[in-house]
Structure 1
């Protein structure tokens, strides 16, 4: 990566030996506003207030509804459209910029939460009028479109603002704040429903208000082109090339770095396990009060899990390759711990055997403490899984174009898995089948990731891993030039 020494005027120092320019960071309040951590915190609060509230709703099992089938179909619609649009959302992010992509991505969340409420755009919602279930499903499909763009912009920004040594910490900061959104949403739900047998409309009103606040934050965020990392290097954002060259970039990203394919099973499993956790365990076994408390504990434990794994992945006492294998080993141990425990419970009930909501396990049931600990450990595993996945993507490249495309791959593949399993739950596939498929997929994700870590993760990102960015700077992303350079510069 290179920049002219006189770019952006004074305050930059050029190092011709390694073709990297170092810039002086702004001071005072301006420096605080343009600090990468400040922007990551703002980004995290966007997800705190939008996807975080969605997670709080989903974590109740069936979106908190008495009939979980409609919610399962809606969530299936979310991930089906998400899977399609996320595959190309990296190119859209590169074309219009991460800030605009993020803003567009927030819009579907308010519509989705509102669809569970009362009247929105003159339609009745499901908890008031059961016949309006189709609107919940439609809102889910629209949310999938916007969410694809939100998460791609999030991934590109989060992995671009940090230095190599900070990626685990930045991911952990983001993940902790993001999941605090679900904790707040779950707290609202628990407070509203502590004496209830069904989710009150006040729960949806509170979550909707918080979601609407999240839509405004991208308008207040800094332009990524003006950002300077803590080591003085400038964040290089995409140059808005033609659509033709950007779609070609999707193919180039895979052909020039096929190791990303070995992470696809890990991506596929990363949202697959939510269905069993939320619908087939939390919703199946617990009444609404216990479900709300489980939901609170699940998302709270995510903050702990992301912090723990982030510290391990960024510790300076270990080389990056050692950290990668350490993270992988922790995930393997956690995977078998929680799934063996969960199997012990799953073998005791089926869809036909679950009781009515009023007869399900309550927080005062003597069996409850052991069951809630399983939810806590599942939350820790989920946070570690997602943080490690993003860290592995970040370890492959510092190229913003590549990171946007890889982030799109991540969310597309994970959403394809989620769409399939939510649909299987909606049509009544046995709980045990869903549970065993979840366990197998998580293990498969780790097995396939191992050779990728062994062969691809280096102690530092090499210049040849930045091929897409080099190509932008050298030939303005002309398709012919990309073809000629790809054989010379890329691994």
Structure 2
């Protein structure tokens, strides 16, 4: 990997910094339960509004990013994070939660576009042998945002038992605005050149809004997108329970901040460890995926089994918790060690699940424009699941029912993930197809095994021999 400004590594580092400063800070707030508020009701409703619009604009995000590019769309999207965080200053001073809920809906628009752009850069820019490593690099830097964001409320509210102060929210707003400025240094996919001289995409001209809209609609009939629906729906669903009904329910405010540090730290280590397996060159890609899937599946089920043991001890949270002995403080080592360790492992297996999800999508195609649509579809369905999850929390569904629902969704998602991994080859399917099915400009590349591939544009016909040598420049 070479660190040139137009290299995949440089661009992944830039989008990682952007997500460190924006979604990383958002995760730090959400990880406290109720976005740092003692009463989580407003935060839960804001998150429901957020993920509802997130769902819509993620699915549309692939087309938006393809038509408008990654630079200015990402920068504008980052500003919506600052609007959302700033709304809590108003809430602290007035107790009026309506602006926060509206800001949540606005953030959903920006987040849908930002995460689509992020997925394109992280999944389609690297070569085949580097995908696991690049996903790991992003996940480590991104979760350093959650780690850093967890340190701030933990330190500032160490002696406080109330909601986060205005100064914490203002500091987060400043950091999120810095993320918007960082996004202005991103370059278009067509300018990205890998170390071997190949490009992330050969599409030179802007995409039409009409064509992108049609391609997005076709995703609803795509075999692989439909197979991965359970994975997409589940991948953020458990955050609502873990952040609010676990961390936010039975720990003191400063311990929730401390738990956040451990949660995001575990994600950093988990992501790095998994990348070593996913890029292990002496094994085929299918074999690597199968082993990663087995490790993740067993670990996730063990963690939820332990969570069930904990959940049997309480039925309500925050100041009215019926957890034996009341709220847990991290200084009470005998009471805190087990519950805090469990939260650490929740973060670890979450990182494995998210990394494998992105890796699976990365095996489907290498073209940046197709990836934008796939990632947008994935994030859209993911956001729908998260919206449902946060609304369940806002409606005060019994904690045990939430736990059972989360665990059941996870189990349902595993078979289709495993099936998709079993179909994985050492190169994305469209790599092979493009060498055999070359058409004139704006022609369609035929799909195989039910694949639904998008048009690939060529400036002039190329011979199969040329394409075989330069296949990474095409897909």
Task: State whether residues 363 and 424 of structure 2, in contact with CA within 8 Å, keep that contact through their aligned partners in structure 1.
Answer: yes
Distance 1:189 1:151 in 2: 25
Q: Does residue 327 of structure 2 align to residue 360 of structure 1? A: yes
**Corresponding residue number in structure 1 for 2:81:** 109
Distance 2:131 2:431 in 1: 20
Relative to structure 2, which stretch is displaced further, 223-232 or 153-162? 223-232
Task: State whether residues 237 and 401 of structure 1, in contact with CA within 8 Å, keep that contact through their aligned partners in structure 2.
Answer: no
Q: Does residue 404 of structure 2 align to residue 436 of structure 1? A: yes
Distance 1:474 1:488 in 2: 20
**Corresponding residue number in structure 2 for 1:48:** 20
**Corresponding residue number in structure 2 for 1:411:** 379
Distance 1:360 1:489 in 2: 54
Q: Does residue 50 of structure 2 align to residue 94 of structure 1? A: no
Q: Does residue 10 of structure 2 align to residue 38 of structure 1? A: yes
Q: Does residue 247 of structure 2 align to residue 282 of structure 1? A: yes
Q: Once the 2 structures are TM-superposed, how far is the Cα of residue 228 of structure 1 from its aligned partner? A: 0.6
Among 37, 59, 64, which residue is 2:36 paired with?
64
Task: State whether residues 219 and 377 of structure 2, in contact with CA within 8 Å, keep that contact through their aligned partners in structure 1.
Answer: no
**Corresponding residue number in structure 2 for 1:81:** 53
* Offset from partner CA, 1:77-96 (integer Å, 9 cap, x none): 11011011111110111111
Task: State whether residues 197 and 289 of structure 1, in contact with CA within 8 Å, keep that contact through their aligned partners in structure 2.
Answer: yes
Q: Once the 2 structures are TM-superposed, how far is the Cα of residue 355 of structure 1 from its aligned partner? A: 5.3
Task: State whether residues 316 and 322 of structure 2, in contact with CA within 8 Å, keep that contact through their aligned partners in structure 1.
Answer: no
**Corresponding residue number in structure 1 for 2:441:** 475
**Corresponding residue number in structure 2 for 1:221:** 186
Q: Does residue 207 of structure 2 align to residue 241 of structure 1? A: yes
Q: Counterpart of 1:145 in 2: which secondary structure?
A: helix
* Offset from partner CA, 1:321-359 (integer Å, 9 cap, x none): 001101110111111110011000001111276159x95
Task: State whether residues 197 and 288 of structure 1, in contact with CA within 8 Å, keep that contact through their aligned partners in structure 2.
Answer: yes
Distance 1:38 1:248 in 2: 32
**Corresponding residue number in structure 2 for 1:338:** 303
Task: State whether residues 56 and 185 of structure 1, in contact with CA within 8 Å, keep that contact through their aligned partners in structure 2.
Answer: yes
Distance 1:362 1:488 in 2: 56
Q: Once the 2 structures are TM-superposed, how far is the Cα of residue 299 of structure 1 from its aligned partner? A: 0.9
Task: State whether residues 110 and 208 of structure 1, in contact with CA within 8 Å, keep that contact through their aligned partners in structure 2.
Answer: yes
- Superposition pairs for residues 297-316 of structure 1, below 5 Å? 297-316=262-281
**Corresponding residue number in structure 2 for 1:157:** 121
Q: Once the 2 structures are TM-superposed, how far is the Cα of residue 159 of structure 1 from its aligned partner? A: 1.4
Q: Does residue 362 of structure 2 align to residue 401 of structure 1? A: no
Task: State whether residues 165 and 314 of structure 1, in contact with CA within 8 Å, keep that contact through their aligned partners in structure 2.
Answer: yes
- Superposition pairs for residues 202-221 of structure 1, below 5 Å? 202-221=167-186
Distance 2:433 2:17 in 1: 30
* Offset from partner CA, 1:120-178 (integer Å, 9 cap, x none): xxxxx222221x10111000000001100000011011112100010000000000000
Q: Once the 2 structures are TM-superposed, how far is the Cα of residue 489 of structure 1 from its aligned partner? A: 11
Distance 2:192 2:257 in 1: 40
Among 379, 383, 388, which residue is 2:351 paired with?
383
**Closer/same/farther in 2, CA of residues 181 and 323 from structure 1, 3 Å limit:** same
Distance 2:23 2:347 in 1: 16
Task: State whether residues 241 and 403 of structure 2, in contact with CA within 8 Å, keep that contact through their aligned partners in structure 1.
Answer: yes
Distance 1:141 1:36 in 2: 32
Q: Counterpart of 1:128 in 2: which secondary structure?
A: helix
Q: Does residue 390 of structure 2 align to residue 422 of structure 1? A: yes
Distance 1:276 1:229 in 2: 41
Task: State whether residues 163 and 230 of structure 1, in contact with CA within 8 Å, keep that contact through their aligned partners in structure 2.
Answer: no
The count of corresponding residues between Structure 1 and Structure 2 is 443
Q: Counterpart of 1:220 in 2: which secondary structure?
A: coil
Task: State whether residues 312 and 323 of structure 1, in contact with CA within 8 Å, keep that contact through their aligned partners in structure 2.
Answer: yes
Task: State whether residues 201 and 369 of structure 2, in contact with CA within 8 Å, keep that contact through their aligned partners in structure 1.
Answer: no
For normalisation by structure 1, the TM-score amounts to 0.86
Distance 1:167 1:148 in 2: 22
Q: Once the 2 structures are TM-superposed, how far is the Cα of residue 320 of structure 1 from its aligned partner? A: 0.2
Q: Counterpart of 1:474 in 2: which secondary structure?
A: coil
**Corresponding residue number in structure 2 for 1:174:** 138
Q: Once the 2 structures are TM-superposed, how far is the Cα of residue 311 of structure 1 from its aligned partner? A: 1.3
* Offset from partner CA, 1:203-225 (integer Å, 9 cap, x none): 21221211111010111223432
Distance 1:466 1:149 in 2: 29
Distance 1:230 1:302 in 2: 29
Q: Once the 2 structures are TM-superposed, how far is the Cα of residue 310 of structure 1 from its aligned partner? A: 1.3
For normalisation by structure 2, the TM-score amounts to 0.89
**Corresponding residue number in structure 2 for 1:139:** 103
Q: Once the 2 structures are TM-superposed, how far is the Cα of residue 464 of structure 1 from its aligned partner? A: 5.7
Residue ranges of structure 1 left out of the alignment (5+ in a row): 1-24, 118-124
